[in-house]
Structures are given as structure tokens and as C-alpha cells.
Structure 1
Amino acid sequence: MPLIDMYERPGFMLRRAHQISAAIFEGSCAELGLTQAQYGALTVLSLEPGIDQTRLARALAFDKVTVLRVLRGLQERGLIAREVSESSRRQMAVRLTPAGARLLKKAELPVHEAYNKLMAPLNSKQREQFIALLQQLTDGLGEEARAAFVPLARPASGR
């Protein structure tokens, strides 16, 4: 197989796009010391205070090891608190601390800037098409993933 064929394969391009996305995000959020995974966890926790670790992992499409690693890092920084769930003694409930809520608020502008930088090569129509195609791909092949994805229900406002 010629090398160009490998470079044009969807898996290679998706991995490369993820590398670029992560680099842009982490560059924008460097002063905050925030990764995409940590931002995702903080965002879900802001919307679902007291969520258990299993639901959090599924809402982010993380495996149990990854979600635990992310949560430990956030807990060490005092951004989240974990405690035994009131509904199940075998589950850990997770919530933002006030420091976590403040960091999430500070991240709004750099996260928005990272999104704009990542999408800059595309015009508005291409952006819509790109997101729609990614959604179609992930919806159509979601069963193949190593980690389950169970999105949280959207609030009534649609956001």
C-alpha cells in the first residue's frame, strides 16, 4: 500500500484531527491547566451535581479507568468532591466544589476561542456539514466503541 493511501484513511485523519484538537484546546487552556477530558467532566458535573461515576463515564464516553484518572486529578486540585452516593453505597457521587465552578467559568472564553480556532479552516456551511457527518459516523458506529456513550438528557431550554 502506498503511504499516501494510509494518510488518506479515515482512521489516520481522525486520529490526526484529534491530536490537533487536543493541542489547540490545551494551548488555549494552558493557563488554567485544563485538558479536554477535565473540561468535559467539569461541564457534566455543573449540569448534574451528585452524578455517580458510572453515569459520568457514560456521559463522556470514558471507560472506568479514564474517568477515575480524570476525577483523581480534579480532586487533587480541589475542583471536585467525591463521596459515597446516598442512593447506592457502592457508587461514588461527584460534585463540583466552588473552586471547580470558578475554574469552569474562567474556561468559557478560552474554550470558545479553541473551538473557533479549530473550526477556522471551514466556512459556516462546511462547519454544519462536518458536525453532521461526525454525528452520523458516531451514531452509526457507536456500538463498536470500547466505552459506552449515554448522553445526559438535555434540559428543557435545549442547551
Structure 2
Amino acid sequence: MNLTNMYQRPGFLLRRSHQISAAMFENACAGVGLTQAQYGALTVLASEPGIDQSRLARALAFDKVTVLRVLRGLEERGLVAREVSASSRRQMAVQLTAAGKRLLKKAEAPVHEAYEQLMAPLNEAQRKQLIGLLQTLTDSLGDQARAAFVPLQHG
């Protein structure tokens, strides 16, 4: 395989796109001190207060080690609180603190800025096409992932 072929492979382009997306997100959110993983966790917790760590991990497609690392960092900053779940003593329930709610609200503008910056090269039709294609890939091949993804259902 020559370099041109390698540089045009979906895996290479997806990895490179993720690097760019992460850098844009972290640059835009530097003022609020959030990574994509932390923002994702805070967003799920705002939507599902008291969720257990296992469901949180699945809702973000994280493995257990990653979700624990993210939660520890957020807990150290006073943004989330963990306690033994009322439904299962073997599970930890997690919720946002008041500080976590404030930070999530403060992050709205920089998160939107990062999204717009990332999508700026694409017109509206291309944006929809990109999201549709990525959704098709992840829906069709999700069983190949190392971490399960179980989206939360909201009516």
C-alpha cells in the first residue's frame, strides 16, 4: 500500500478527524476546563440525575475504567457527587452538583463555537450527509466496538 492509499483510508481519516475535533473542542473549552469526555458525562448527568456508573458508561460508549477516570476528575473539582445507589448497593449513583450545573451552563457557548468551527467547511446538506454516514457506520458496526453504547431513551 502506498501513502496516498493510506491517507485516503476511512480509519486514517476518522482518526485524524477525531484529533481535529478534540483539539477544537479543548481549545474552545479551555476557559471552562472541560474535555469532550467530561462534557459528555456532565450532559448525560444533567439529563439523567442519579444514573448509575454502568449506565453512564454505556450512554457514553466508555469502558468502566474511562468512566471512572472521568468521574474522579469531575468529583475532585466538586462538579459531581457519587453515592451508593438506592436500587443496588453494588452500584454508585452519580449526579451533578450545583457547581456542575453552573459549569455545564457556562460551557454551552464554547461547545457551540467548537461545533460550528468543526462543521464550518461543510454546507448544510454536507453536514446532514456527514452525520448520516457516521450514524450508519456506528449503528451498523457498533458490535465491533470495545465499549458498548446504549443510548438513553427520552420521550
TM-score, normalised to structure 2's length? 0.99
Q: Could you tell me which amino acid in structure 1 is paired with residue 120 of structure 2?
A: A
Q: For 1:11-26, what aligned pairs fall within 5 Å after superposition? A: 11-26=11-26
The equivalent of 1:142 in structure 2 is: 142
State the shift of 1:45 in Å. 0.2
Instruction: Number of aligned residue pairs: give it.
Output: 155
State the shift of 1:61 in Å. 0.1
State the shift of 1:55 in Å. 0.1
The equivalent of 1:77 in structure 2 is: 77
The equivalent of 2:46 in structure 1 is: 46
Q: Could you tell me which amino acid in structure 2 is paired with residue 125 of structure 1?
A: A
Q: Provide, for residues 47-87 of structure 1, a one-character-per-residue CA deviation record: whole Å limited to 9, x for no partner.
A: 00000000000000000000000000000000000000011
Alignment pair present for 1:30 and 2:26: no
Structure 2 CA distance, aligned partners of 1:118 and 1:54? 30
3-state SS, counterpart of residue 31 of structure 2: helix
The equivalent of 1:58 in structure 2 is: 58
Q: Could you tell me which amino acid in structure 2 is paired with residue 84 of structure 1?
A: V
The equivalent of 1:153 in structure 2 is: 153
Q: Could you tell me which amino acid in structure 1 is paired with residue 119 of structure 2?
A: M
Percent sequence identity over aligned pairs: 77
The equivalent of 2:130 in structure 1 is: 130
The equivalent of 1:101 in structure 2 is: 101
Alpha-carbon RMSD: 0.5
Q: Provide, for residues 89-118 of structure 1, a one-character-per-residue CA deviation record: whole Å limited to 9, x for no partner.
A: 000000000000000000000000100000
Structure 2 CA distance, aligned partners of 1:77 and 1:99? 9
The equivalent of 2:110 in structure 1 is: 110
The equivalent of 2:91 in structure 1 is: 91
Structure 1 CA distance, aligned partners of 2:153 and 2:133? 22
Q: Could you tell me which amino acid in structure 2 is paired with residue 25 of structure 1?
A: F
Q: Could you tell me which amino acid in structure 1 is paired with residue 123 of structure 2?
A: N
State the shift of 1:136 in Å. 0.3
3-state SS, counterpart of residue 31 of structure 1: coil
TM-score, normalised to structure 1's length? 0.97
State the shift of 1:6 in Å. 0.7
State the shift of 1:22 in Å. 0.2
Unaligned runs of 5+ in 1: none
Q: Could you tell me which amino acid in structure 2 is paired with residue 65 of structure 1?
A: V
